[in-house]
Chain A
Amino acid sequence: MAFFLARRLVQAVLILLGVAAITFLLLYFLPADPAVLIAGRSATPQMVAAIRHELGLDQPLVMQFVHYVGNLLHGDLGRSYTQKTEVLPLILARLPATLILMAAGIVVEVALGLTFGIIAAVRRGGFVDRSVMMLSFVGVSSPQFVVALLLLYVFAATLGWFPMSGFGSARHVVLPALTLGVLGAGWYARMVRSAMIEVLRQDYVRTAHAKGLSGRRVVLGHALPNALLPIIAMVGIDIGQFMSGVVVVEAVYGWPGIGQLAWQAIQQVDVPIIMGVTLVSALAIVLGNLLADFVAPFVDPRIRS
Chain B
Amino acid sequence: MKRLLILSLLVICSCKNKSEDTKETKEPEISLNEKKEAENSADYHLKIYDYDGLEPLINKNDDKVHVVNFWATWCAPCVKELPYFEEINQEYKDKNVEVLLVSLDFPRNYESKLKPFIVKRNLQSEVVAFDDVDQNRWIPAIDKDWSGAIPATIIYNKDKRKFYEQSFTKEELETELKQFLN
A binds B: no
Q: Give the B-binding residues of A (Cβ under 8 A).
A: none
B residues with CB within 8 A of A: none
